[in-house]
Structure 1
Amino acid sequence: MSHPVGQDRSPGGVYSVGQVAGFAGITVRTLHHYDEIGLLVPGARTHAGHRRYTDADLDRLQQILFYRELGFPLDEVAALLDDPDADPRAHLRRQHDLLTARIEKLQQMAAAVEHAMEARRMGVNLTPEEKFEVFGDFDPDEHADEVERRWGHTEAYRQSQHRTAAYTKEDWKRLTAELDAIHGRMAGLLAEGVPADSEAAMEVAEEHRRFITGAYYDCGHELHACLGEMYVTDERFTATYEAVRPGLARYLRDAIVANTARHTAS
């Protein structure tokens, strides 16, 4: 609210409608309307009938503008100001209460906007064209709600959101290429008939775990084993790996399980 009605006032002065409009930051037409409906009748007039406003009129105008700023209709403003039981202190108390409520509401609105901004900032902020360039037919936004519902309460989710917030298109392209290369090496071992619990397969599985840790969240061996199980129980993940090479989902899972066992064995 910015209506410095009292600006440049002199004690005991009278002011023209143009001066008051300038003080209050409103139009002359508004002042004429307030006069016509009896909300703010000038306390004096010249011999020619021109409106002249006193200091008391400016005080009332300040009250009017305050209530208008808070959205009160003119008839309610008039009722408040003309209440015979209200004194200036009562108006101040009411205004303080109204301002406090407005501040609380604005703080709630600001918090909501900040939350929305943070949610947007934490997303994959790429254009549709860039998403297709980076991820192909897979759109990460389609799964964002499910991911948050399933893992939003976890530290891994919070770490992933924080780390990926600053990723650029080039970062996503690099990470996608690195993961594709890991999948390619694992698929190559599968094609060669190398056992999933072999040293070679376990090394690629360990590379896969370190990739997740570096790019998204701290992925310990036990969590990695859980991910491996999801690759064969969630048909969407299974389809992704099967598209690289048939049997890869189960092969990768088995390599991860073997790698976990060798690192967690006591």
Structure 2
Amino acid sequence: MSAKRIDGHEISAGVKAAVAKAVAALPGQPCLAVVLVGEDPASQVYVRNKGKATVEAGMLSRHYTLAADATQAEVEAVIANLNADPSVDGILLQLPLPKGLDPDAAIARIDPAKDVDGLTEISTGRLALGKPGLRPCTPTGCVIMAKEALGENLSGKHVVVIGRSILVGKPTAQLFLAENCTVTIAHSRTKDLAAVCRLADILVPAVGQPEMVRGDWVKPGAAIIDVGINRVPAPEKGEGKTKLVGDAHFDSCAEVAAHITPVPGGVGLMTVACLLRNTVIAACARRGWTLPPDL
């Protein structure tokens, strides 16, 4: 068996196209504000890409950059001003923050109605209770990709999520539960992790351990939604060179699975697409606009 790649480029482009179509039908332009603290090169690239994608979807993009030595009070003051600004529909605090700042305290300041990353306690609680709300972007992307591979009806599928982080593992499990899946959350203390993984119809590794999941961990015919993005040495490319790999060993897993997301080119691309989607959802809820049916 050779797994079919779940193409993040194609699927994310479809989500972005639906967002752009929805925005064009709205009576106004949704606005996404991104707050960047410090000069982390990777974060700068992420923020630039998010801004570009926002504008391409027909929405307004605002960037707020603070120095690396900004205080907690200064960061939270920017968030408070964006909360109070009626023209802003979504607020994204780019993580990680510089050392010395408390990301949880800053996130807690975001108005849940503008929490397009789905990380506030209100958003998390609404997800756990099955109430409508803004859902975390990466977990949402995982579910969308699983449906692209296996069809819209995931009811009864056994999902194993490796990882219990509040950013990915736990919300991913909650979203698959909402699809009537049977969900197991595995983690570093799970006994015989490989045996647990072999039970999965849908396996979601999300622990940041390069190529941890091997082919003999995978149930034949399973779908693997690989959340891991790890930079590792690539001596085959030359001295000092690196490459990106997932939490699943692609070649061995692809021999057993029916569907698998590549890294790069998989789940990571869905995060920005779902961020744009959330911004439209937030704008419609805040402004009383009818949510376009395609979303």
Identify the TM-score tier after normalising by the shorter chain.
under 0.3
- Structure number with higher strand proportion: 2
TM-score by length of 2: 0.21
Q: Which has the higher contact order (CA 8 A, sep 6+)?
A: 2
More helix by share: 1
TM-score (norm 1): 0.22
For the pair shown, which has the larger CA radius of gyration, 1 or 2?
1
